[in-house]
Amino acid sequence: MPFYLLLFLIYGIKDFRKWCLITGIIALPLPISFTIGHVPHKGWADGITITLSDLSFLCGILYTMYSHRKRPIPSSILNATLAFLFACALSVINSDSVRLTSFQVIMLIKSFILYYVGSFWLLDTNEKRQTLVGAMIVSLVIQSTYAIAQHYFGFQTYILHSDGFRPPTLLAQSGAIRSSGTLGHPNQLAKYLLPLIFLPYVTASRHRTLRTSMFLATSLSILAFLFTYSRGAWIAFIPGAVALAVGLYRHHLIRVKTLYVFFLVGLLFLLLFRNDIRSRFERHDFGSANSRVHMMKLAAYMIADHPFVGIGGNTFQNRRRSYLTPELEEEFTTVVHNQYLLVTAECGLLGLLCYLWLLYAFAKEAKRCVTTSTDAFGNRLGLAVQAGILSLAISMCFDYYKSYIGLSNMYLLAAVCSASARIKLHNKVRRQRGPLAKRADPRTVLANGKELGIPHTS
């Protein structure tokens, strides 16, 4: 709370919406929360969780509604979200716990409204768009610094967990401590860092100080990312990095010399930590990889039993024992570590199609940001978000999301891309209106651009 008060004195008095953005984003990965109807459960949602970040974005939404600055929500994200919500709600037909399925639906609605709608309404200028990206980079640096300290000193964030949860200290095959940041698990930290690692380059400019700062932020985040020892996230990072490099080169946003520098830095990290990386892939992992095969078989049995609407959203762990065969009873099984199989098992093929539609909608908004932006910042932002979504989509083949933070992060990235396109269109209309903008009626703006709020003269 003192931190919130300090930021309010710095930003909130002058610009309340900027304060909501900064505090909401920085507080997102912090485990300061309160859960309503908590159920001991290993799934996507174990209750209705209200976090400090939620309160910041809720304040922003209420202030926007009070000041009459609401704007229509882009239909691509809205329709995909509604379709996925419908698939999750429909799965209640086969659910053995309406309560758990309802928790998932409520948390999905909360993530969409607070982190997509709220951010989209708050981002009405280029300055606020840069503020959001800057806050994400600050959060990235905070988590990365904390994760690096965890790796070397081995402490955990017991004091921050308001629900009394004590995150375990996990070790890699080499005996090194796997960093979990404030998220409680190394894999969850890796998925939080994964889409944000590409953001520092977005703010790169000709100023040497800023370029150096962004280079340091990228180096810190990659180092923390390595210390999570998350194999799936490591694999998913490579296609995203290649896609970003190709996109920047095609749009003439990076020089070949800079690409060589990034390649050499990446090669340096590989050489420095080659033993840890090799041991993570080659040494005995205590049956972790083998158990995932058994979990996939378990998911396949569930899909075969209820292929269309699934067994019920958020109930995989509850129904797991009902599908154990004599072969699987002797093996360790838990929630399947594959997001696509998990969605299909819980919400059926209909849920999988809607979930893929949602991921496509995220990527589409990022592409629209690239094609509609007239400034280098917007182009780099769209390409970085595209790379992040690609990496996340690949990482979902190796793990599942244990919390709402991953989806909230994607909604935030999609919101800043949607806002970029809207800001560009708004600025174009203002330029075309010219000096008569004050006398013009904005309701006369036509889609074909023939009349832009300027009184018609013969």
The pLDDT tens digits for 233-244 are 999 999 999 999
* All residues at 6 or more sequence positions from 390 whose CB lies less than 8 Å from its CB, including other chains: 239, 240, 243, 363
Provide long-range contacts, Cβ within 8 A and 24+ apart, for 15-19.
Answer: 16/59, 16/60, 16/63, 17/60, 17/63, 17/64, 17/122, 17/124, 17/128, 18/128, 18/131, 19/56
What pLDDT score was predicted for residue 195? 92
What pLDDT score was predicted for residue 284? 63
Tokens matching residue 248: 């920047």
What pLDDT score was predicted for residue 11? 60
| Residue numbers of the chain with a pLDDT score lower than 70 | 1-13, 41-43, 155-175, 204-206, 283-288, 330, 402-403, 424-458
**DSSP classification of residue 202:** G
The model's pLDDT over 140-157, given as tens digits with 9 standing for 90+, comes to 999 999 999 988 887 665
* All residues at 6 or more sequence positions from 158 whose CB lies less than 8 Å from its CB, including other chains: 166, 167
Q: How far apart, in Å, are the Cα atoms of 439 and each of 249, 435, 458? A: 44, 9, 18
> Please, what is the Cα angle at 34 between 80 and 163, to 5 degrees?
120
What pLDDT score was predicted for residue 452? 36
d(C-alpha 72, C-alpha 22), whole Å: 23
Cβ burial of 406 (10 Å; 0-12, 13-18, 19+) is buried
Prediction pTM value = 0.87
Tokens 């000096």 map to which residue?
435
Q: Which residues face 33 on adjacent strands?
A: 51
Number of C-beta neighbours around residue 430 at 10 A: 12
Task: Report phi then psi at 91, rounded to 5.
Answer: -65, -10
d(C-alpha 184, C-alpha 157), whole Å: 8
Yes or no: say if 31 and 157 are a contact pair by the CB < 8 Å rule. Answer: yes
Yes or no: say if 25 and 135 are a contact pair by the CB < 8 Å rule. Answer: yes
d(C-alpha 369, C-alpha 386), whole Å: 10
d(C-alpha 293, C-alpha 310), whole Å: 20
What pLDDT score was predicted for residue 324? 85
Angle between helix 405-433 and helix 98-111 axes, rounded to 10 deg? 30
What pLDDT score was predicted for residue 436? 44
Instruction: Please report which residue ranges of 154-230 form alpha helices under DSSP H.
Output: 186-193, 208-227
What pLDDT score was predicted for residue 31? 79
Task: Report phi then psi at 195, rounded to 5.
Answer: -75, -15
SS3 of residue 398 by DSSP: coil
Task: Report phi then psi at 221, rounded to 5.
Answer: -65, -40
What pLDDT score was predicted for residue 159? 47
d(C-alpha 150, C-alpha 258), whole Å: 31
Closest CA to 146 of 29, 265, 274: 29
Question: Which pairing describes strands 48-51 and 33-36: parallel, antiparallel, or unpaired?
Answer: antiparallel
Q: How far apart, in Å, are the Cα atoms of 116 and each of 74, 410, 414, 417? A: 10, 9, 7, 11
* All residues at 6 or more sequence positions from 226 whose CB lies less than 8 Å from its CB, including other chains: 234, 269, 273, 276, 277
Closest CA to 115 of 20, 19, 254, 183: 20
